[in-house]
Amino acid sequence: MRTLYILLLAMLLACLSLWLGQFKKFKKSLALILAVIFLSAGGSFLTCSVLPGDFFYKDTVTNLHNKKLAPKKTKTIALTFDDGPYEPYTTDLLNNLQKENVKATFFIIAEQAEKYPAVVKRIAAEGHTIGLHQYKHTDSLKLSAAELKASLLRGKEALEKITGQKVKFWRPCHGFRDGVVLKVAQELNLTVVNWDNIPRDWTLINAEEITRRVVKDAQDGNIVLLHDGDSPTYIHPRTETVQAVPKIIAELKAQGYTFVKIE
């Protein structure tokens, strides 16, 4: 059952409980307790859907060691980038990664890929992993199963046509998912990948703060969420993220980390 339906049902049951209590069908104290229980249950389902972790939805990968998505090495960490390609920032980022000899993972908006196919081809040619973010940047919880499947197929086919490579990984927009979303991903043989290190670089903080947050929270197997794009508007620059990446790499390499791509 969809998370939004469960939340709506919980709200209706809470209102019904309060209404019955108001009209003395049972005690008001019991009505209040039931309303709180229903709302708490609905809120819990919503929380599990919008938080990136795998506490409830076990099929969501949030760490490299969940499903062995990287070579087995000591102290590994993966840089992942969402919402691109977005020029000139994606190209600048690729230049920095090339200088540092680091491979990363890009969760690409396929509509953007069709605008910048040469950039996507370069990402693939330089050995980075290409995953799908969506065809357009759309909340999966707001789509029916059929709409989501159509969007994923369109995005997957667009990326595969550009790169000649199979797309195996998918990051839902905002990381939102529920049982239906995960079922569609399974039908399309897509592994859902979220994250467990989030510096919130899209809030337009500077490169030093992005670096500080990533390094402060760094742990073995981290999947780091960063952005080379700015969906859906593509207005704000990604200069600070681009400048932060070499700093992140330098500091974490000094701590003994190995950077890997998801594969």
216 contacts: CB under 8 Å, gap ≥ 6:
none
**Coil, strand or helix: which one is 218?**
coil
Question: Which residue type does 52 have?
Answer: P
- Find out whether 178 and 2 touch, Cβ atoms under 8 Å: yes
Residue with tokens 């590994």: 76
> How far is C-alpha 182 from the geometric centre of its chain's CA atoms?
13
Amino acid sitting at position 170:
W
Q: Which residues pair with 258 in a beta bridge?
A: 76
Q: Which of 133, 227, 228, 230 is catalytic?
A: 227
H/E stretch holding 82: strand 76-82
227 catalytic? Reply is yes
How open is the CA angle 81-149-221, to the nearest 5 degrees?
Answer: 35
Q: Is 82 a catalytic residue?
A: yes
Angstrom distance (rounded) from CA 125 to CA 132? 17
Catalytic residue among 82, 178, 196, 230: 82
Which candidate, 185, 179, 175, 178, places its Cα nearest to that of 149? Answer: 185
Q: What gap in Å lies between CA 221 and CA 52, rounded to an integer?
A: 15
Catalytic residue list = 82, 227
